[in-house]
A and B are shown apart, each in its own frame.
Chain A
């Protein structure tokens, strides 16, 4: 009896089938509410941007594009405004949201799979591997984003396998330290490759032209996102996201540990391979279109866990929604608030570092294990 009263102070009951589940009291603990907020944020983002357009005109253009016969004043609309609202902003917003979804989900999947809340795609080297693949593609002269995606996926998988193999050789996969160190080494190796390619400059290109672009792209930006980039990130994110949504309960099992998980009768290797492929694909999709956006894959799973708890059945959708919100917010910030477009990757680190410090401090009292 005392047990229940104590629980009721901390949690509220919500009915699911025959059984009541205990959820944190905030309404944000429900992924669909986060999804609703994300939807509102997406629509709101259409109204933001460097090019000044009054909000009622944006509304008019939007209504017109959805229902062409609604506006009588459409003749007065400026073609430039129509272009900005229907062709320039939507793909950029879409790319930012999908990048956030990809990073949030893959970070959560990685942490569950490696049963380690200290990892993220950038910390296990996947991001660096994907960046190397992408830069290699550009260096070789393939500037079509889907081609960049292929090479960056290969780079991401190679880096992840390298990290896992190294961590296994040095110490058990259960330990945090070997894994993070291995990720650091492998990541540094691939970043050195990136540096080498930038330094070497393909002699067939005009000097200096490519390097500047690569460096700006490397810092992480959504500038110049068009339909091709939107498709390039949409396909891996939707495919990978669907797979992760299907496997989200299996992540609970994987996070138990090898011996215990295999004693429950699941095929660990198969599951791990699917996850490595899917996570690398999603991260590579993000890197191929928008460069290196760090921290998101580490912060979002923590924030989502604070909101909805550790059960991956809720955690995976929640981190997708939160990731989308976070990256969209960063991009909106750089599009509107700052006088020149600071790369999102730089912003994510500037905002991410204090945020992760705060999350560390919050979890310090409780810890992750005890």
Chain B
């Protein structure tokens, strides 16, 4: 295995004894790939992310992660009114000694990272005054500054409007392909996973999961089992693009049209 790769096998966790959230899970990705985690609420997505992050020791199984991991939380609330630059600078924590302060070189790296994310002009803006999408970009910049190999995102698109969802998906794509980071993200939107991910892990139940390349895993049958709702895989042409996506079928709603 090289830096940026990870694999976990036989992974299981129970907060209470014998009350398994999931068991025998397996998943892997190599550097530059995107892995999507899909599962209904309460299926243990956040628990799995915490385990991958090393913040939680799994009850069983092994995780092998090569390289530095950075985390982008779902809801980012900061108790104090830091600027975007302060936030990004915190990514240097590992490189600054316990009793030392960040040097101008660290600040330079932080500004560069903000500029790479296209928000260099917002460096001195208070973090809490930024929109949800901009905050995500700041946290991405922090991951760049930390020189992370693997980026773990907890539902990065959940609180965003369509335009910002698109922006974040583009960035996930770019971080993986251009910056060569491995990205793991959890999502409630199968079509997001379908759009950017290489690998997917469906958390179907305690002992039940599907893992593998997106095309093999995100099938109509699996998704019906996952969400209890039919999803249709569609292929169509849009301008010069051949689009392949997933569309949920809300069968019992008003606008249905039975012929």
Smallest beta-carbon distance A258→chain B, Å: 8
The A-contacting residues of B in range 88-121, CB under 8 angstroms, are: 90-91, 93-94, 96, 98-102, 104, 107-108, 111, 121
B98, A264: Cβ atoms closer than 8 Å: no
Contact of A247 among B73, B99, B122 (CB under 8 A): B99
* A265 partner residues in chain B, CB cutoff 8 A: 68, 93-94, 146
Complex alpha-carbon distance, A298 and B100, angstroms: 26
Is there contact, CB below 8 Å, between A368 and B79?
yes
What is the CA–CA distance of A250 and B100 in the complex, to the nearest angstrom?
9
> Which of B90, B98, B102 lies in contact with A256, CB distance below 8 A?
B90
Give the contact-size bracket for chain B: 35 or more
B111 proximity list for chain A (CB < 8 A): 19
Contact status B101-A249, CB under 8 Å = yes
A250 to B89, CA, bound (A): 11
A255 touches B93 (CB 8 A): no
CB of B238 within 8 A of chain A? no
> A311 touches which one: B55, B77, B86 (CB < 8 A)?
B86
- B188 adjacent to chain A (CB < 8 Å): no
Of listed B54, B71, B99, residue having the most chain A CB within 10 A: B99
Assess the A262–B55 pair: CB atoms within 8 A: yes
Across the interface, do B73 and A19 meet the contact criterion of CB distance under 8 Å?
no
Nearest chain A CB to B92's CB is how many angstroms away? 9
Is the Cβ of A117 less than 8 Å from the Cβ of B104?
no
Is A9 at the interface (CB under 8 A from chain B)?
no
A305 touches B80 (CB 8 A): yes
A22 interface residue, CB < 8 Å from B?
A: yes
Distance in Å: Cβ of A108 to nearest Cβ of chain B: 11
| Whole-angstrom distance between the Cβ of B243 and the nearest chain A Cβ | 35
- A208 at the A/B interface (Cβ < 8 Å)? no
Within the complex, the shortest CB–CB distance from B86 to chain A, in Å, comes to: 6
- A116: chain B residues at CB < 8 Å are 79
Write the nearest CB–CB distance from A220 to chain B, whole angstroms: 29
With both chains docked as a complex, state the minimum distance between the C-beta of B66 and any C-beta of chain A, in angstroms: 15
A370 closest partner in B (C-beta) = B128
B-contact bits for A351-370, CB 8 A (1 contact / 0 none)? 00000000000000010111
The CA of A21 and the CA of B55, in the complex, are separated in Å by: 34
Known contacts A22-B124, A313-B101: does B108 contact A264 (CB below 8 Å)? no
Do residues B124 and A7 form an inter-chain contact, with CB atoms below 8 A?
A: yes
Interface membership of A86, Cβ < 8 A: no
Q: Is A311 a contact partner of B82 (Cβ separation < 8 A)? A: yes
A73 CB within 8 Å of chain B: no
A contact residues around B121 at 8 Å (CB): 3-4
Give complex CA distance A309, B128 in Å.
Answer: 14
Q: Does A229 reach chain B (CB closer than 8 Å)?
A: no
Nearest residue (CB) in A for B146 is: A264
A22-B83, A311-B86 given; A253·B107 CB < 8 A: no
B interface residues, Cβ below 8 angstroms from A: 50, 53-55, 68-71, 73, 77-83, 86, 90-91, 93-94, 96, 98-102, 104, 107-108, 111, 121-122, 124-125, 128, 146, 152
A contacts, CB < 8 Å to B: 3-4, 7, 11, 16-19, 21-22, 112, 115-117, 243, 246-250, 252-253, 255-260, 262-266, 271, 305, 309-311, 313, 366, 368-370
20 A/B residue pairs, CB under 8 Å, sorted by A:
A3-B122, A3-B125, A17-B104, A19-B104, A19-B108, A115-B79, A246-B98, A255-B78, A255-B79, A259-B71, A262-B53, A262-B55, A263-B53, A264-B94, A265-B93, A309-B81, A310-B80, A310-B82, A368-B80, A369-B78
The 5 closest A-B pairs by CB, nearest first: A246-B99, A263-B71, A310-B80, A17-B104, A115-B79
